[in-house]
Each structure stands twice: as structure tokens, then as C-alpha cells.
Structure 1
């Protein structure tokens, strides 16, 4: 066997069972051929073998973001970003919307995303009147950074058939002022439903997927857990994008929707396809429901009132029985199941469902997941361990939203996304960014998991900090485990898929306060170069995977 590539003289972080660190790895076609010290790999070097001197740089398994919204992120790039440096106020956003209206045909949607009322100068949302002043010839939709709250103008409200007399949907709020007038703000399920009206064309979906592919590969992401699209149309387009070679990232698709997760999940169950169906590029994952809201909204369902508002316990989408009627059936039929659950009340409700389902229909190695598992107190952690579940915490949340967590949840921040406790209790937790809710680069997530500080340097539950190798494992092998794929990816071992990344330095020698500043020199997917920061890295050209 002659290798196509041999990478040597590096810091090869294998993420194997022993956390072995070696200096070389050989790959042949789309598989890892051999791992070890350079001398032991000489037998695999032939005339055609390309030998790459890592010069001490780190080589890791490709990052697996276990929970992000690839399609949602991609189409957002076609809209106004409220996270861009120039967007500092409601005023600057309104001006950007006016400029967009000038070049957008009447009747077409104008969108903005990533808005955060806590970071703009005015410390408030845009008003319905302000959005109407921008344009009444276009429907306007602004999504909050959490993705669970939206602000609309009157034209968009009319398209959604929403007026002062429209009742709140289950698990949602159509906000009105003290006089009973619409404010333009839709919360939780009410906001989710607007996506059924504000749809994207197939061309827009494809363009968004291509953008997401390019952006994610540059940060070393080679696999994702697609945590929910906009229903069947975008779900279909995502699959076609992989078949057509527009997407070079492996997808484990959570079977839920950002519009009506219950209806979408029930249709998937009725179709007869089950978790695990697919191949190494696209595989069906767990049936997913939403149970509560956003940690930054704040709208999560908590057992005790918010520190910032003791009378507020958040929003629940469904009752425990309603959740069981969908996910209990899915479990019985052999599916992996999961929910979006942020608050301890929502998590506890879901754990009750899983416990009941397992008692009625016992099953080993089910790997039922909990997306986010936000406030996971010690009693909740013990139940997660006992039930054999896989939580999917979001390390980068603390970096962007940490201060708001302290304000809204007080001491409970010490158990928010508790990576240290999960590891110490032997719970396999896979990390996800939940992008576009927050920034997606895994190196930022690893940095925050290790440091547990906000971008302003504030400690956010510092006792939950983990070591660098532990954080890397959360973003690699643990992600593969969460999708039943640890036998084919997630670590650098012979026979596994050749999905690897090269950093521009040593992550183990870098000061831990600067991990986020490291860069990806190259991303290799399926044995082919998918991204190269410059031609000096490997000296090749970027190849299409398919």
C-alpha cells in the first residue's frame, strides 16, 4: 500500500481511546492508512506519495459541529446581518433596511438577522411604526439572534393573516401593547410559524448552502448535525446539494423543522424511514421537537423564576403528554429521539418522557439526545447519565451571551452547558455552535470551553471549564458518537475516513487564552483538499469532492 499523502513532523492529535499524540499520518484515497511516528510510516511512501512537513503544527480530525443550522445560516448570508460591525443601533439597522428596499422589487421580502436588543445603542427592538416607515411595499422580517423572536412590519403581518384578534398559538406569543395593538413582535411558536410565509426559492436555498459550505470548511468543519431546516422543501434541497456536489460537508440530519417541528416529525415517522438511513455523506438522525425557548430571549422554561424577573418561568411548546405522543412512538419504532430543551423544567419534562419510553419499550444503545441541555443541575445530570443520553451543549454561547446569563439566571449559570460535570460523570457530550445563533468556528468553541469567559473577559461558571484535549474530543469523536458514526470518523485511526484539518500552529502549546486566534491552514474531506489557506500548506489545488 502506497500512501497518497504522508503528513510528518507535526502534532497529530488522534483523539483515539488513549488520546495518543504522534508526529505523522498517512492517507490513501479517502481513508487513513497509518498513524504513528514518521519512521514507522516509511513503508507507505512511494514515488507518487506527497510528503507534507507539518513543521510542528497540529493535525486533528475534522471538526464535527453536532448542532447547527447549515441551511438557516446560509440563507441568512443573503440578508442584512445585524452582527456586522457597522450595525450598532436601531437607527443604523433602519437605514440599512431602507437601502435594501431601494434595490428590492416591491412584494419581495426584506430580511435582517442576528438582532440583539441588548447590544444596540437604544437597548430596544425596532417598532412596528419604524418598520412601516421603511417600507409598506415590502414585507420586512427581522430575526433576533436566538432565532426564536422576530419583528415584522404591517405588510408582513398582513401576509401572515395576523391582526389584533389573532389568538396566540400554542407555545407562542403575538405581542400586543397595553392598548391591545400589535407591536410587530412574534415570540417562539408565533415566530417559528412566520417561516411558513417568508419562504425561500430553491435558488436562494442552493446559494445559501454553497455559502455555508465555503464558510464552514474554512474553519475546519467537516461534519455537522443539521439541527433543522425550513420544512420539506429545504430538507429536500439540502439532500440534492450533496448529490450535486454543492456541499462537501457530511450531514447528520435531525428530523425536525424550524416551522412546525411536530407536524414535520410526524410525517417523517409516517414515511417509514428511520434513524441511520443514508450513507457517509448524508444520514437521517433523530426525530426532534422544540420544548421551550431561547436562553438569551430569555424564554426558556425554568423550575424557578428568572433572576431578572422572578414571575417569569419561560415558555413551553407542548405538554409532557404531547411530547410523549410523538417521541414515545418514535422510540418504540426504533428512532433516536431528541428535543430542543434549554431550561431545567423543559429538560426534566423530556427526561420523564424518555424514562417512560424506555420502561415501556426497553432498548440498549439508543443514544437519545438533548439539544442544548442548557440548565443541567446535578439532579438532571444524574438522570442523563442513568438514562444513557447524549447532551449537546453549546460552548460558544458563553462567549457572546455570558453576561445575559448571569443577569437572567444568577447562580444557575454554574450549571449552564456544564461540560466539566458531564465529563466527570462519564456522560458523552458533543459540542455544537447552534449557528447562526452564535459564531460557528470550532476553535472559538474550544477556546470558550477551556476558558469559560465571555468576550468581555467575565467568568461564566468558571468551574465548568475543561482541558484542551477534552474540548477537542467534544468537537470530534463525541460528535461522531452522537450520530452512531464513531467507527468511521471522529478520530485519526487506520481505516477511518480521511477527514482531517491542519492548524497554523500547535493548539497544545498555544496559550489557552489565544486558542480562538489560531487558524485553519487546510481542511481535507474524504482524502481531498476542500480548503487551503494558501498554496504553501499542501501545495495543491482545491478539488471538488464529488
Structure 2
């Protein structure tokens, strides 16, 4: 699917068009940005001194004199004070409609960044249960036994002990598994006779009884029950809160890679106001609808662009399809897998082919979550088959995360025209765990350097809320491949500074079918910017993650950051 760009000045980026004309017929700028370095991230990676904005779009990029020539009596000038202006970062793989669940006052967020100890996690759960009405439901997210290794083993029995009467369900931080207590399982009506949903399982014991665990979507979603549903009146404010978390990190556009069609009308209503702090491109969860209506859309704030399929699971749950095995050890014990364990795919090759073909023939871009090298081969085989059935069609097929993809598989993907979105935060947060799990195979985890070497357009992502939104740290990790504890995994798979920046801007825009309007600072494009305390091309790469986001602009409107100097 290719969304036509049309005339880049035909709409105003979602803002009111208040451009004025000067006496000679040229447009007058609403705002001028000057006094710092402008990294345009255009084809030549050129720099400029100033940018003029009118009607929510970029009017001129050039020298200070060239840009100020477009200023009128009512033009606002933003003094960059020596800072660096870049195109707004683009989160190619996020979950804003999932993250908004954590933005409510009743959210039970157990992530290690919020609850830094096991005791804090259990205390928060007990408090939520004590505060819940008898007919309520407590749904918590972010259980992370790898960062908090003294957490008890999550089980139906543990949750029943914590909450004997009120339904309680807990989502693993990866989003690939969830557990429920007795009360929740009874209310859900899940028994030994309940069939497994397609692409997922209700885990059962040796006698065939449900253990309370659901692995993969939709089973994990069912296990979470109604506790994660957002009340209609709170939808807009919660989505706004989730998007503002991304905006504070310099993000101006995000993909939603697990979008439910049930939310579409409410999401469209929210974005119709044209004041959202971040733009969104959605990928609908596969299997909910066999046929997804398509229309040629040009809304700069929200557009559906694809379909998401989970071909395998998470290394932190033990269900990725690999040719190699887990090596055992403490970390493996924590997640309940033994030495020699291998995961498997969520679908047979035939099922995956049918699923991909179903949506591709409708013209949708498909994005397959895939971690294991065996699953990568399965996805590439399916993509190659359907591409062969539809010669000449541009699908921009995506593969997500690609933890154990090999350099050879990267080259094969590139040869097919398949693009990858890598997850370098796995290295930063869990590099030592990966080494314990997989030994030397961990050195080639998310080998983004192989993608740069073969010329692939790839992106980097944080998969928020799985890891906190932090494009700058993402770039640093993709470059130096250093964990938070200082271990380096496979330095030869690092990327260049420029390619890391492209991967969080123009390449990500391309993956989201938005390169005609976002991802670089060029005339006619949306005036979406991030202001950084330092130029990432001029600092030591190991310090890129320490650069501060000073402000974020969407359609020329500042949405985060302190007040810049204006004249």
C-alpha cells in the first residue's frame, strides 16, 4: 500500500492556516527558528542556520538572512540559543492505545521503573486489591522478574493468595503473557474445555486444567479481563497523557502496532481536533476482522496504514522460535525454562501464509513481530511467496524487533524489499540476561549494523511501554551496543551516528508511509521538530543518551519543553 502524498501544501498539518502574503505575493512566516544548528536529515544530511514555518508546515530552510526575509510584522522568532533543531523523532513501533491504560488514576503499573523492588510491586498489588470493590477487577501490568529477580514466581496460586475474592490479573512487562487468579478465571469462564484462540494458548497443567496463564494475543488479552478497559469519557485524556510521554522524549509521530478497530472511531474523534502532541499511524491487530476497509487518507494526524501479526513471542517468556537453545542458569530459572529449551512459532507456515496473504491482497502493509531466527525464515518465506504472487506492488513489508536475525537473513530481507524495525533497548536493559540465556549468540542480537551495511532503510524503536520512550538512548545503544552495566555486545554490529539518526526520523517515517510529510526538515513538510541541548553528530557517541530534549513542536506549535527565547 502506498499513501499518496498529494500537494504537500494542500493541508495545514492539522492546524489552522494563518499564512499571510507579503506585498510581492510570497508567503510570510508565522514562526522563524534561528540561532542554532538545523540538522535537516535530508538526502545529503545537510545543515542550515534557520527555518521558516507557515500554516503548520515548513516554508523555507536556509541561511538566517534567507529565512528572516520571510518574516513579517507578526512573525514570531524562536531563538535556538545554540541548540540543535532536528526533525521530530518517530517511534516506528509503539503502543499508545495500550500505554494509555497506564495513564489512568486506577492504573496498577508494576514496571521496574515505577516499582524498583519486589516488595514495592507486591505492596502496590495488595493496595489495589484492598481498594477494589467486591464486584471490581484489578488489572496490573509490567511484571518484570528479570530486572527484579527476587519477585516470586507468578502463578494462579500466588494471585489467588493476594486476592482470594476480587478478580486479579497481571500482564508480563513484555505484553506476551498474563496470569489470573481463581476469581478472574471463574468470571471469565475459562475451563479445560475452552479452546485456545488462534495464535495463542491458555497454558494448561499435566491434567489439562488451565493454569491461569495466557500466552500471546488474544489469550493474554482475554486473561486481563475488563480491568484494562478505558471508560469512554476518559479515552481522550488518557490517550493525550500517553502521547505526552512520547512528546517529552522528542517524538512527534508514533506507530500503534496493536490497534483495535473497536477504538478507531474514538481515536479519530480525538485526533480530529488537530491539537494532539504526537501524530499516529495505526496497525490493526490481525484476526479481528478478515476484511479491513481501506480508503485513501491524507489526515496528517491519524491514519491506518497496516496490520500487525505476532509470528512468535518474547525471549523473556521463552516462546521465540530459534535454531539454538537456552543455556540454563539463574535467568532461565526465573522465567521457568530449562537448559536446552527452544520456543516455537505461533502459527504453522500454512497459517501464517494465509494470514499475511489475506491482508496483503487487500493492499495493507503487514508488520510481523519476529524474534527467533527460525521464525524469521518462516516470515521471509511467506513474504517471498506473496510478493511473487503480486509482482510490482509496493507493500513495504516490515519485520519487528528481529532479536536473533542473522546478517544473512538481513541481506535476504533487503533483497526482497523487506524493512526491519530493531529494538536496541533489549541490549541496554537486558544484555547480560541475553548473554546468560544464549551465550555468544547474544553478541549478534538486533544486528542493525548488518542492515546499514547492505543499504536497508531500517528504524529503531522502544516499543513503549515495554521500555521507556527514549530515542536518544536508543540511538546511542544502536551505535555502541553497550548495556546499562557497561558490557558491550557485538560491537561490530553497531551503526553510524548518521544512520542512527535516520533510523529515528526519515527511515521510520518511510516505514509508516509518511516520508512525504515527516522525517526531515524540508520545505513543504510538516513543521514537526525536536530541540536538543547538543548536536548528536558532534558529541561522543557514548554521550548521545545524555543529550536533553529542550522542546518539541508539532505543526509549528510547541507541545513540550520550557519557553524558548522569543522575539
Q: Does structure 1 residue 210 correspond to structure 2 residue 260?
A: no
Q: Does structure 1 residue 295 correspond to structure 2 residue 315?
A: yes
Q: 1:364 to 1:187 in 2, by over 3 A?
A: closer
Secondary structure of 1:9's aligned partner? strand
**Post-superposition offset of 1:247:** 3.1
The structure 1 residue matched to 2:74, chosen from 37, 48, 71, is 48
Secondary structure of 1:193's aligned partner? helix
Q: Does structure 1 residue 219 correspond to structure 2 residue 239?
A: no
Q: 1:262 to 1:123 in 2, by over 3 A?
A: same
TM-score by length of 1: 0.90
Q: Which residue of 2 aligns with 1:476?
A: 505
Unmatched segments (≥5 aa) in structure 2: 1-26, 329-337
Q: Which residue of 1 aligns with 2:489?
A: 460
**Post-superposition offset of 1:326:** 2.3
The structure 2 residue matched to 1:516, chosen from 521, 526, 545, is 545
Q: Which residue of 1 aligns with 2:187?
A: 159
Q: CA–CA distance in 2 between the matches of 1:364 and 1:174?
A: 38
Q: CA–CA distance in 2 between the matches of 1:175 and 1:327?
A: 26
1:15–1:473 contact (8 Å) kept in structure 2: yes
The structure 1 residue matched to 2:128, chosen from 96, 100, 106, is 100
Q: CA–CA distance in 1 between the matches of 2:159 and 2:275?
A: 36
| Alignment RMSD | 2.3
Cα deviation digits, residues 406-451 of structure 1 (max 9, x gap): 2223222233222111011011102221111111121221222122
**Post-superposition offset of 1:398:** 1.5
**Post-superposition offset of 1:196:** 5.9
Q: Does structure 1 residue 75 correspond to structure 2 residue 101?
A: yes
Q: Which residue of 1 aligns with 2:161?
A: 133
Secondary structure of 2:459's aligned partner? coil
Cα deviation digits, residues 449-498 of structure 1 (max 9, x gap): 12211111111222222222211110110011112221211100111110
Q: What does 1:408-419 align with in structure 2 at a 5 Å threshold?
A: 408-419=437-448
Cα deviation digits, residues 59-118 of structure 1 (max 9, x gap): 000111000100111112332222255734444322211212232222222122211112
**Post-superposition offset of 1:339:** 1.2
Q: Which residue of 1 aligns with 2:263?
A: 234
1:148–1:192 contact (8 Å) kept in structure 2: no
Q: Which residue of 1 aligns with 2:432?
A: 403
**Post-superposition offset of 1:523:** 0.9
**Post-superposition offset of 1:210:** 1.8
Q: Does structure 1 residue 61 correspond to structure 2 residue 87?
A: yes
Structure 1 outlier segments of 4+, above 4 Å: 164-171, 176-183, 195-199
Q: Which residue of 2 aligns with 1:263?
A: 288
1:75–1:205 contact (8 Å) kept in structure 2: no
**Post-superposition offset of 1:297:** 1.9
Q: Which residue of 1 aligns with 2:530?
A: 501
Q: What does 1:305-316 align with in structure 2 at a 5 Å threshold?
A: 305-308=325-328, 309=338, 311-316=340-345
Secondary structure of 1:23's aligned partner? strand
Q: 1:496 to 1:234 in 2, by over 3 A?
A: same
Q: CA–CA distance in 1 between the matches of 2:118 and 2:204?
A: 20
**Post-superposition offset of 1:208:** 2.4
Q: Does structure 1 residue 327 correspond to structure 2 residue 356?
A: yes
Q: What does 1:118-129 align with in structure 2 at a 5 Å threshold?
A: 118-129=146-157
Q: Which residue of 2 aligns with 1:273?
A: 294
Q: Which residue of 2 aligns with 1:544?
A: none
1:111–1:140 contact (8 Å) kept in structure 2: yes
Q: Which residue of 2 aligns with 1:543?
A: none
Q: Does structure 1 residue 109 correspond to structure 2 residue 137?
A: yes
Q: CA–CA distance in 2 between the matches of 1:133 and 1:443?
A: 42
Cα deviation digits, residues 157-211 of structure 1 (max 9, x gap): 1122224565655544434556776543332243243256545132343342121
Q: What does 1:27-38 align with in structure 2 at a 5 Å threshold?
A: 27-38=53-64
1:209–1:246 contact (8 Å) kept in structure 2: no
Q: Does structure 1 residue 488 correspond to structure 2 residue 514?
A: no
2:422–2:448 contact (8 Å) kept in structure 1: yes
**Post-superposition offset of 1:123:** 4.8
Q: 1:159 to 1:343 in 2, by over 3 A?
A: same
Q: 1:233 to 1:203 in 2, by over 3 A?
A: farther
Q: CA–CA distance in 2 between the matches of 1:539 and 1:8?
A: 10
Unmatched segments (≥5 aa) in structure 1: 541-546
**Post-superposition offset of 1:357:** 0.9
Q: CA–CA distance in 1 between the matches of 2:200 and 2:245?
A: 33
1:296–1:401 contact (8 Å) kept in structure 2: no
User: What is the number of residues matched between the two proteins?
Assistant: 528
The structure 2 residue matched to 1:174, chosen from 183, 202, 216, is 202
**Post-superposition offset of 1:288:** 2.1
1:306–1:313 contact (8 Å) kept in structure 2: yes
**Post-superposition offset of 1:511:** 3.2
Secondary structure of 2:460's aligned partner? coil
1:71–1:205 contact (8 Å) kept in structure 2: no
1:415–1:461 contact (8 Å) kept in structure 2: yes
Q: CA–CA distance in 1 between the matches of 2:526 and 2:179?
A: 44
Q: CA–CA distance in 2 between the matches of 1:123 and 1:405?
A: 19
Q: 1:68 to 1:339 in 2, by over 3 A?
A: same
**Post-superposition offset of 1:291:** 0.9
